[in-house]
Structure 1
Amino acid sequence: MSPALDLLMQRHSIPSRQLGEPAPEGAGLHALLAAAVRVPDHGKLVPFRLIELRGEAKQDFGDRLAAIAARNPALSESKREKERTRYAFAPLVLVVVARVTAGSKVPPIEQEVAAGCVAYNLLLGAHAMGYGAQWLTGWAAYDADVASLLRLAGNERVIGFVHVGTPQIEVPDRERPAVEDVFSTWAP
């Protein structure tokens, strides 16, 4: 098997709570980001952007997220604390944002898929660099107040929060679907 295919076969997510220092920064982060944005982009629209959460900004984001979540009067204190610390573990969180150009010949789904490819390239690139990563969404990815907190424009939405760091545990691979169960050949 080629080294590139071997990399794909070994990639798996590391739970964000199990990611610690270090995370890529400086030239390493730039290389990861440059690789991540090499995605199919029909129409060359660049329908994505990235927002970095690192250091105290992650904790401030978590505090604000907990305040937004507290709109729900039934939210328990333990769940509010979970929201407050959701971004506290991995040293780097990259918010992948889809930026859809309305009226383009490129359908919105293709633009969003391109942004999804950026998120997946972050996972692959982190793995290739010896880091671990996890792509998460959760309610915050779909919430209008969180979008406002992130200063997203009306044509933007969160595709995911990619947590990146150094694995603190060995995570066993999970069972994957058998190719035979998901592959078919179309015939007229």
Structure 2
Amino acid sequence: MTPMEMLLSRASTDHLAEPAPSAAQLSEILAAAMRAPDHGKLRPWRYVVIEGDARPLMAERIVASMQRMDAEVPEAKITKRRQRFSTMPMILALGMHLRPDHKIPLWEQEMAVAAAAMNVLNALHATGFGGVWVSGDVVDDPVLAAEIGLPAPHKLAGFLFVGTPSGKPASPRRPDPADFTAYWTGAPVTFAADKD
């Protein structure tokens, strides 16, 4: 597979089984994250690895966070999140080590974290693993972030569920790039994707 074929064949999946990456494999995968664009060289990304017996502990922290964020959260949603966080082969908490007083705006720091996370997803795929980025209202919970090791002003950007894809991964239909591309020649552009 060429590098371009690899990029074009990547798709998120939460149908994941053991094995997760070994420590050596994960180190190489996370090395790809370090190649993300990073204005100011702030390196705002942080990765917290959750595996083994730590997964059900994290699941309970997630449930507590859900209940803090929404006192009326449906029991079915709690059950689903508890099960997913307890059983995924590996979870990477995506931390944002933010510096609000720095000259680099916060939104650029956050985008660097997002770019690094995409590199992680691509590197997982390139090494035969799979993953999916999940978020939800818990990422806005400063208590959960602090429990993980990201006290304010630092935050969570979400979690990556990581493992080996089980079964044949679905190949979702992707939109035509032409619908999202326009060439500027001096006047405001329009995009086919925005037309009703």
Calculate the TM-score normalised by the size of structure 1: 0.91
Q: Percent identity?
A: 34
Contact in 2 for aligned 1:69/1:83 (Cα 8 Å): no
Which aligned pairs between 1:169-188 and structure 2 lie closer than 5 A?
169-188=167-186
Which aligned pairs between 1:22-41 and structure 2 lie closer than 5 A?
22-41=19-38
Contact in 1 for aligned 2:17/2:165 (Cα 8 Å): yes
The residue number in structure 1 matching 2:49 is: 52
- Identify the match of residue 136 of structure 1 among 112, 134, 137: 134
**Structure 2 residue ranges without an equivalent (≥5):** 187-196
- Shift of the 70–154 alpha-carbon distance from structure 1 to 2, 3 Å rule, reads closer
Aligned residues: 185
Contact in 1 for aligned 2:58/2:86 (Cα 8 Å): no
Q: Distance in 2 between matches of 1:76 and 1:45?
A: 39
Calculate the TM-score normalised by the size of structure 2: 0.87
SS in 2 for 1:180: helix
Q: Which amino acid aligns with 2:126?
A: A
Contact in 1 for aligned 2:142/2:151 (Cα 8 Å): no
Q: Deviations over 1:149-171 (max 9, x none)?
A: 21312121111201110111212
Q: CA RMSD in A?
A: 1.7
Which aligned pairs between 1:127-166 and structure 2 lie closer than 5 A?
127-166=125-164
- Report how far residue 128 of structure 1 moved: 0.2
Contact in 2 for aligned 1:20/1:166 (Cα 8 Å): yes
Contact in 2 for aligned 1:122/1:162 (Cα 8 Å): no
Contact in 2 for aligned 1:14/1:132 (Cα 8 Å): yes
The residue number in structure 2 matching 1:6 is: 5
Contact in 2 for aligned 1:65/1:146 (Cα 8 Å): yes
- Shift of the 74–110 alpha-carbon distance from structure 1 to 2, 3 Å rule, reads closer
Q: Deviations over 1:22-43 (max 9, x none)?
A: 0111211111111122111111
Q: Distance in 1 between matches of 2:184 and 2:170?
A: 35
- Identify the match of residue 69 of structure 1 among 32, 46, 66: 66
- Report how far residue 172 of structure 1 moved: 1.9
Q: Which amino acid aligns with 2:6?
A: L
Which aligned pairs between 1:78-117 and structure 2 lie closer than 5 A?
78-117=76-115
- Report how far residue 78 of structure 1 moved: 2.7
